[in-house]
Each structure stands twice: as C-alpha cells, then as structure tokens.
Amino acid sequence: MSVSVAIVGTGPAGFYTAEALLRKGLDCTIDLIDRLPTPYGLIRFGVAPDHQTTKKVTRNFEKTALNERCRFFGNVTLGRDVTLNELRGMYDAVVLAVGADNDRRLGIPGEDKRGVLGSATFVGWYNAHPDLRDLVPVLDTPAAVVIGNGNVAIDVARVLVKTAAEMAESDLPEFAARAIQASPIRDVHLVGRRGPVEAKFTNVELREMGHLDVAQAVVDAKDLPDVVGDVEDDRDRRLKEKNLATLREFAAQPAGGKTRRVHFLFYASPVEILGGERVEGVRFERTKRDGDRVVGTGQTFDIACGLVIPAIGYRSLPVDGAPFDSRKDIVVNDEGRVAPGLYAVGWLRRGPSGVIATNRPDGVAVAEHIAADIPTGAKPGRVALEKHLAARGVRVVSFGDWQAIEQAEIAAAHAPAPRRKFERVTDMLAQLEKS
C-alpha cells in the first residue's frame, strides 16, 4: 500500500517537501492542506508585491501540485476542520509546514500604542492577506520608523516610499496602494541595533534602495567602518564587503532633489515607544561595539514619528497536538522528526531565517526520514480525509478551483499589474460558484 502523506501548509517548505518525496520516487500519495483557498503561503503573502520575479518559483510548485500523486486541499483549517490527532490517525506521515506568520514582540514599554504595527502584519496587509483586510494602518504621518536591519525591514521601507508608477507592475492591492499613496510619509528611518557590517540585508535588496525614483537612501559616512573586519566565512565576508560598498555609495550621494528619504541608522536599540494613546516617537539607546557584541551606552535619543514597524523577525505559534519550544518558538524536533509519523519543516522547524530556497534541504531531509521510517503504508490517507471533511460540510478548494481563482485574478488585473488579488475568502468562494 502507498505511504499516505499529509503536508499541512503550502508555502515553500511544504512544496519543497512534496517535491522531494516525488523525486525520491517513493510509492506515496501526498495531500497538501492549506487553511486558505490559495496555495504558496509566504510567496503570495510575504514576498514583496514589487518582487514578482521571486514569486515565479510558484511555477515549479504548480508542477508539483499537478503531479498525479498530489492533491491540494485548500480552505481546510487544521484544528478547526480536522485536528492533528485526527490527521495522524488517517495518514502514515503528517508534515507540519505552517511557517511563522506572526510578529515577534520588542518587549519594550509603549509597544501596544496605536501606530505600532509588526512587519508580519503590515506585509500581510499590503499583500492582501484575507485575515488582514480590515486592518487600517496609521499612515497619516510624515515619518515612520522601521526597526530591524533585515530584508523585511528593507521591503517595508521600499514599499512605503515607492511611487504609484514604480509599483505599477506589482500586485499591490488597490486598497493598500491608495492608502500608501495618500500617506504624507516622507521620511523612513531604518534603525539597526548593531552596525552596518552586522546588517542582514542581502546586497541586491540594499542596492535597490539607491535606485528609487523619488526616495534617497541617506547614510552617515561616520557610521561606516573602513573594513569589514574578521569574518570567517568567505561568502559572508564578500556579502558584507558589498553591503559596505553600497552604503558608502549612499553616503557619498549629494542630497539631491528627491522628496522622500530612507535614513539608515545603526547602533541604536529601541527602549521605549513614546506618545499617548497614539505613537509619537521612539526612544533609542545608542549602542557600541564590545568585541563581537554591541552594548548599550546609556545615551538615548528620540525619533519623532507616527508609525513604527518593528521588522525584527517572525514567530511560529504552537500547533495543538505537537510539542512546542516556546523559548525558540519552534516545534520540538530532531532534524525534522517530531514523533512517530509526525514531522516538521521550514520556519516552524528551525525558526524564521533564510531565503525561499533555504527550505529545500528541510524538505529533502524529511522526505529521507519518511522513506526510512515508513517503508510501506498502513493508513488510508486521502479517502479518510475526504470522508471526514464531507461529513463536516467543508468546502474543499481543489487545485483546479485555485487555478480558476488565479485566472479570475489575472483577468481582473489592470495592465501592467500581473493580477488583482481577491481580498476575502468569501469572494474567492463566490467566484468558484460563478465559474
């Protein structure tokens, strides 16, 4: 009997696992379960709307989904429509690939004021995540502070300062485009608690900030060291050298006639969000290098702003029925093995780091484990899930249904935008009733 595998979560980690299982040639069936009618997780809702090339990886995922061994079960929520224990009863192997789409908290006073919006929330909003459609971000301010020196911080800053023309080829939803274009934000402060060498930006993303139509990247040359210093890994050192060179170019640019600015600030750790009910600024403590670490200096300064976006990393939530390490915010696992027949991959397994392809080895490792742990199938898998969901009256969205949704999104797009995303699950399901 074929090994029945259920993969919960259809972002990169889920799809790379399915791909790896297919490549292994294992006699298996693979059911890809997602709580939304749309597959691809962070590719659709996390990758920036103006980075369409990055989103093209979905073409490979689509091939996987269309493989005869695979079936997509969209609009099926783990914990509501089917529990993990029920799934484990139905399938020989269950792979958790639900990612990390929640915000980490800064843990400083004032964090809950109106106008503080974590990057996971803000990015989900401008990517038309249905959960965030009713959010109304506070954008009526001339200045925003983005905390963190990673690629998400760069994405957020860029989306805030790009013009409508620069976003024309993106799939930024109209409601977000309108809100951002109407915003008076002219200054975005991108603040890192460590130095330019420690910043986690990749160089392509950093360089892009030097080519924006109306926004200038502002860097103080005094913050830039002459050399990168000791970095063991060659590749890492080259990246840091490139970033430093890019930041030097930014620092050397004359203050031109651009109307918006992205200020790169380093060595500043947030200590308090200022204001009353609404954010009025952020207090930072200056930091300095102390060997490999940075330490506080006791000296503080404030940046006035009406919007604060901590882009300090994502966080997984516990999955009912799976052991969770709440210090690391990951499922307790040994190289992807969680319990007999239960596995985890991607950000839920190892935390929120790495680019899309970083998830590939996770998928490969878990495919190897499944092949080694479960030589033959014993559980019914798909038929049992179909029966269970039918009894519960769940409207399962198949991959064909998703393709109909996607076609409708493409047809509704205003050129040159690639698609006009549905913003609500009810609208997606209503479209399926029509087609």
Contact residues for ligand NAP, defined by CB under 6 A: 106, 147-153, 155, 192-194, 198, 200, 202, 205, 269-270, 311-314, 352-355
Nearer to ligand NAP, 147 or 397 (CB): 147
CB of 358 vs ligand NAP, minimal distance in Å:
7
Nearer to ligand NAP, 127 or 431 (CB): 127
For the chain, counts of helices (H) and of strands (E): 15, 18
CB of 5 vs ligand NAP, minimal distance in Å:
27
Helix (H) or strand (E) holding 330, with range, is strand 330-331
Residues 6+ apart with CB under 8 A from 172: 49, 50, 126, 159, 180
CB of 263 vs ligand NAP, minimal distance in Å:
16
Chain residue whose CB lies nearest ligand NAP: 150
CB of 180 vs ligand NAP, minimal distance in Å:
18
Q: Does residue 416 have a cis bond before it (omega within 30 degrees)?
A: yes
Nearer to ligand NAP, 204 or 221 (CB): 204
Q: What is the DSSP string of 335-387?
A: TTEEETTEEE-THHHH-S-S-GGGHHHHHHHHHHHHHHH-SS--S-THHHHHH
CB of 205 vs ligand NAP, minimal distance in Å:
5
CB of 193 vs ligand NAP, minimal distance in Å:
4
Residue 176: which of 407, 421, 418 has the closest Cα?
421
Nearer to ligand NAP, 193 or 350 (CB): 193
Nearer to ligand NAP, 200 or 237 (CB): 200
Task: Give the span between the Cα atoms of 123 and 402, in whole angstroms.
Answer: 22
Token reading at 79: 């914990």
Nearer to ligand NAP, 43 or 82 (CB): 43
Residues 6+ apart with CB under 8 A from 233: none
